[in-house]
Amino acid sequence: MTLLIIFCLLILYNFIKGTFQFETVTKTSFIIIPIYALVMTIISIFTEQQEWHLLVTIVLILIGIMLGWFQTFSVRIVKTAKKDKYGNHIFKYRRGWAYLYGFALVFMVEVTTDHLLGLKMTFKGLLFEWQIVKFKLNI
């Protein structure tokens, strides 16, 4: 358990440090992961046939849109002089404070939703939810 906590703290440090540094825009983080999330949401809507699951999904989508909009407040994008192999300019972005606050809010929404749906929360479960939220936010 101690190693898991140390590992998570190191990842958290790396995430916070990386939030304020410029990173190159990649197809994986801006195209593939959002498409994957959309496909998984559609699959889960059709596999869960209870009507309240659809309602929860709609509410979470609306909350996600608001949090995503909030997280863009501090994003900075720069066009570099470098070009890729196709001759296009390379862009870099920096997330900033609003993104970091939004990350914490997404985590809180995830934990609150699990609690409201009656899922049992343990410390390991919280660490697992934290890892899932980080993956969803393209870290």
H or E stretch covering 39: helix 33-47
Query: Model confidence over 90-129: pLDDT tens digits?
Result: 899 998 999 889 888 888 888 888 778 777 777 777 766 6
Is 87 a member of any domain? yes
Is 10 a member of any domain? no
Is 8 a member of any domain? no
Query: Model confidence over 50-63: pLDDT tens digits?
Result: 777 778 888 888 99
Spell 47-65 as b/e; 16+ CB within 10 A means b. eeeeeeeeeeeeeeeeeee
Contacts of 80 (CB under 8 A, 6+ apart): 89, 90, 91, 92
- Single-letter amino acid, residue 116: L
Is 15 a member of any domain? no
Is 93 a member of any domain? yes
Instruction: Domain of residue 59: give its range.
Output: 25-136
- Single-letter amino acid, residue 51: E
The total domain count for the chain is 1
- Residue 121, Cα to own-chain centre: how many angstroms? 20
Is 16 a member of any domain? no
Task: Output 133 or 92, whichever has higher pLDDT.
Answer: 92
**Cβ neighbours of 99 (radius 10 Å):** 19
Is 14 a member of any domain? no
